[in-house]
């Protein structure tokens, strides 16, 4: 994403990779290898285009908190 932000998590030892792409306050894309437990949640956050608010900062620090972000942003909206 031009002028967007990324959060990247790389676990070489366990062959896992997660990259989240943000455009402003929205999650607009992702790449994931080995992280399959919350793919539906990831897709839901991207497709819903719900503003992430404080959850963007939290996901930037720890991209694995997708389920918490989904519950905090989509379910409560």
CATH of the domain at 56: 3.30.390
> Which tens digits make up the pLDDT trace of 16-63?
999 999 999 999 999 999 978 889 999 999 999 999 999 999 999 999
Positive or negative CA dihedral for 41, 47, 51, 52? positive
pTM of model > 0.75: yes
Q: With beta carbons less than 8 A apart as the criterion, state whether 70 and 59 touch.
A: no
Structural domain tally of the chain?
1
* Cα distance between the two ends of the chain: 26
Q: How far is CA 7 from the centre of its chain?
A: 8
Residue 67: how many other CB atoms lie within 10 Å? 14
Cβ within 8 Å of residue 47, ≥6 positions away? none
Q: Which domain holds residue 26?
A: 5-75
């Amino acid at each position: 994403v031009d002028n967007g932000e990324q959060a990247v998590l790389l676990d070489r030892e366990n062959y896992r990779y997660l990259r989240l792409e943000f455009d402003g306050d929205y999650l607009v894309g992702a790449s994931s290898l080995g992280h399959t437990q919350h793919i539906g949640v990831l897709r839901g956050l991207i497709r819903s285009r719900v503003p992430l608010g404080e959850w963007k900062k939290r996901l930037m620090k720890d991209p694995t908190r997708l389920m918490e972000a989904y519950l905090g942003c989509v379910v409560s909206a």
